[in-house]
Amino acid sequence: MYDIPFLDLPPLRRAGGTVRLPGSKSISNRVLLLAALSAGRTVVRDLLDSDDTRVMLEALQTLGCGLERLDATTVAVTGLAGRLPVRQAALFLGNAGTAMRPLTAALALLAAREGGHFELRGVPRMHERPIGDLVQALRQLGAGVDHLGQEGYPPLRVRGPAALHLEAPIRVRGDVSSQFLTALLLALPLVAQAQPVTVEVAGELISKPYVEMTLKLLARFGVAVQRDGWRRFTIPAGARYVTPGEVHVEGDASAASYFIAAGALAATAQPVTIEGVGLASIQGDVAFADAARAMGAVVEGEANRLHVHRGAWPLRALDLDCNAIPDAAMTLAVLALYADGPSTLRGIGSWRVKETDRIAAMAAELRRLGATVEEGPDWLRVHPLPANGWRAAALHTYDDHRMAMCGSLAAFNPARQPVRILDPRCVAKTFPDYFETLWQVVEADPTDIPVICIDGPSASGKGTLAAALARRLGYHVLDSGALYRLVGLAAARAGVPTDAAALQDEAVQARLGELARTLPARFDGGRVWLGQEDVTTELRSEEAGAAASRVSAVPAVRAGLLALQRAFRRLPGLVADGRDMGTVIFPDAALKVFLTASARARAERRHEQLRARNEHASIESLLAELEARDARDRARSVAPLAAAEDALLLDNTHQTIEESVEAVLGWWAQRRPFEV
Ligand SMILES: O=C(O)C1=C[C@@H](OP(=O)(O)O)[C@@H](O)[C@H](O)C1
Ligand SMILES: C=C(OP(=O)(O)O)C(=O)O
């Protein structure tokens, strides 16, 4: 997950390959609640691990449910069997509609029967998302529900005991959110014992497939709801939740829309294959595939998998009622930028009360990209962007995961403009690793992938600066010094001598070159691997440093490492530290920094580092060594240490690391095309 202020996407050229989707948010939270209300143990597999499911799990735990995490995506839930072991709790439900609405209904009915006092809150935006229609319905039943803030919105208090009136049909409005009806359908089986309970929907029900999903999952837990179209739903008398024992959560169909879109935009050689969701899905958002087909994409489906190719190009404009696919419809708004005429999305009034006002937000951000957009109370019309109309935009995301994921699709623009996604962490609501997953199936031209080079002498703090910059920008990091150390180590392992005399021998040079070319180097979460061996600690030794310095003077070694180093230039970008990053390895880098500090300052830092490791050397001897090393590095015939002509000089003798990072980020900002 990218927990950084912004993430820049280089222009993307191609899509292809296979993605496996995280579990469906809507299924995950329904199944967790159903398992919690049932008796016995339910093992939930392929559960989504995200902010929305985390708040649900925390709430269930607070309520006394037994939860056992078997692995990252498997949780065993021991249900409450319709009881309330905890009678008082304050629950924080983030911005998860699928937690706030169903838990309100379930707790209101349980508290009415058993007594209790519960408060349900969320993030500020959750307190602007309507829940009044559900509260009205629960009050009709006789349940105690109070608004703690603004009437009609969370936070709420539910309290009991209270006498429930279950005889008359309960009316609930269905035209603001289908989650109110879903919440009642999930909660009412708890109290439909002596008599059936009927819910009647007032107003046109929106987002119908989500109610269909609710009914299917209720059936999996033993409750067969009788229905009369979309108007009347009856929970039979004596309803009782029975766990199926084990449930597999499908991949998220709304999340699939971004990858279907990527395929529609740029899968020309091989398809984008999406695993985990397909024709057998119970999620309405798989119908996004039909909308993508209507725009020209080639989508082939199997039960649990989709394959997507680019078909018609440009895409065909669309005029569609999106009421049944409210979440995936946002993806169509971005695809419309690539169409052959204006596209109109209708029936999307519910967008206004979701994570943000999505009609206003989408219109504003597509305009930022250069597009002409018209909007109405429940519709949006997007005009396509000509190739020369695209602007490099920093897209605001409004703490809305879908704004961020949709925004990423603008990176396929034919103008080859990069796209900045502000606050990319918001994807954590439903898809924490969205961007990492995107990199698996998209490609940029290597020259479009930005590189920042940090070159400089020993102990200037290059590694620390490079790592800090990479963290801030979400970029990869290339510690080229470690590669030379690894070659030294690989030589020692292979019995190839690296003393001064041996290095004169052409056969030794050739063997070292070969070792470098085929070096099995791997960097992973701060650890360095040589093949199967974690050599992180060994690499830091003075001995490894000395060997690195010797082998790095061998031209065949430098040539051997060239391709390996360039292969680090991967999406979304790279910070490379070394001595010849800007001069030899990445001459086209977008920013080159030559980092120096006085020899004395560097000797003092090295002294400090050694002391921290309980190793000792005098400052004077370290100073002499550093000066000798500098002279050797500057004088060597291959890739001598020198600042690239277009490098910016940064002397950090009197700077803290934070000051150096800010200085480089300042330069970087000046070189980026985004309008701020
Ligand atoms: O029941 C559900 O799981 C959902 C229903 C839909 O909401 P509305 O019914 O408010 O449109 C959808 O947008 C939301 O992401 C999930
Ligand atoms: C509307 C959404 O979420 P919620 O479940 O919070 O309503 C969404 O995921 O797009």
- For the stretch 483-496, pLDDT in tens is 999 999 999 999 99
- Would the CB of 323 count as within 6 Å of ligand 1? no
582 marked as binding residue? no
Using the structure block, give the residue that is written with the tokens 């001995």. 543
Pocket test for ligand 1, best of 101, 128, 131, 178 (most atoms within 8 A of CB): 178
CA of 182, closest atom in ligand 1: 1
Average pLDDT over residues 392-412: 98
State yes or no: pLDDT of 524 exceeds 90.
Answer: no
**Which ligand has the minimum distance to the alpha carbon of residue 52?**
2
Q: How confident is the model at residue 614 (pLDDT cuts 50, 70, 90)?
A: confident
Longest Cα separation, the chain: 97
402 marked as binding residue? yes
Residue with the larger pLDDT of the pair 34 and 541: 34
Measure 179 CA to ligand 1 centroid, in angstroms: 6
Q: What residues contact residue 635 under an 8 Å CB cut-off, 6+ apart?
A: none
**Which ligand has the minimum distance to the alpha carbon of residue 399?**
2
Average pLDDT over residues 348-360: 98
Classify 631 in phi/psi space as left (phi over 0), alpha (psi -120 to 50) or beta.
Answer: alpha
Using the structure block, give the residue that is written with the tokens 């690539």. 338
Measure 441 CA to ligand 2 centroid, in angstroms: 25
Collapse the DSSP code of 521 into the 3-class scheme (helix H, G, I; strand E, B; otherwise coil) and give the result: strand
Q: For the chain, give every domain's residue range.
A: 6-22+251-446, 25-248, 449-475+572-676, 479-570
CATH superfamily of 479-570: P-loop containing nucleotide triphosphate hydrolases (3.40.50.300)
Average pLDDT over residues 262-269: 96
CA distances (Å), origin 86, targets 35, 118, 299: 17, 10, 49
Residues tagged active-site: 327
**Which ligand has the minimum distance to the alpha carbon of residue 180?**
1
CATH class of 6-22+251-446: alpha beta
d(CA 472, CA 483): 23
State yes or no: pLDDT of 636 exceeds 80.
Answer: no
State yes or no: pLDDT of 207 exceeds 70.
Answer: yes
CA distances (Å), origin 47, targets 9, 77, 304, 424, 598: 29, 12, 16, 22, 54
25-248 and 479-570 have identical folds = no
Measure 152 CA to ligand 1 centroid, in angstroms: 18
pLDDT at residue number 525: 78
Q: How confident is the model at residue 640 (pLDDT cuts 50, 70, 90)?
A: confident
pTM for the model: 0.96
**DSSP per-residue string spanning 164-227:** ---SSPEEEE-SS-THHHHHHHHHGGGT-SSS-EEEEEESPPPSHHHHHHHHHHHHHTT---EE
pLDDT at residue number 542: 80
Question: H or E stretch including 482?
Answer: helix 480-494
State yes or no: pLDDT of 251 exceeds 70.
Answer: yes
Residue 302 pairs in a beta bridge with 305
User: Which of 131-145, 210-224, 523-537 comes out lowest in average pLDDT?
Assistant: 523-537
- Would the CB of 180 count as within 6 Å of ligand 1? no
ipTM above threshold 0.90: yes
pLDDT tens column, 377-396: 999 999 999 999 999 999 99
pLDDT at residue number 38: 97
pLDDT at residue number 371: 98
Q: How confident is the model at residue 185 (pLDDT cuts 50, 70, 90)?
A: very high
CB atoms inside a 10 Å sphere around CB 282:
19
Q: What residues contact residue 286 under an 8 Å CB cut-off, 6+ apart?
A: 253, 256, 277, 278, 279, 301
State yes or no: pLDDT of 271 exceeds 90.
Answer: yes
pLDDT at residue number 545: 86
Q: Is 618 exposed, middle or buried (0-12, 13-18, 19+ CB in 10 A)?
A: exposed
257 marked as binding residue? no
pLDDT tens column, 155-167: 999 999 999 999 9
Average pLDDT over residues 407-436: 98
d(CA 149, CA 131): 12
- Would the CB of 430 count as within 6 Å of ligand 2? yes
pLDDT at residue number 676: 62
pLDDT tens column, 313-343: 999 999 999 999 999 999 999 999 999 999 9
Cβ pair 155, 202 in contact under 8 A: no
CATH class of 25-248: alpha beta
Q: How confident is the model at residue 458 (pLDDT cuts 50, 70, 90)?
A: confident
Measure 98 CA to ligand 2 centroid, in angstroms: 7
Cβ pair 579, 548 in contact under 8 A: no
CATH superfamily of 449-475+572-676: P-loop containing nucleotide triphosphate hydrolases (3.40.50.300)
The token duo for 625 is: 């060594």
pLDDT at residue number 112: 97
Average pLDDT, the chain: 96
d(CA 262, CA 411): 10
Q: How confident is the model at residue 553 (pLDDT cuts 50, 70, 90)?
A: confident
216 marked as binding residue? no
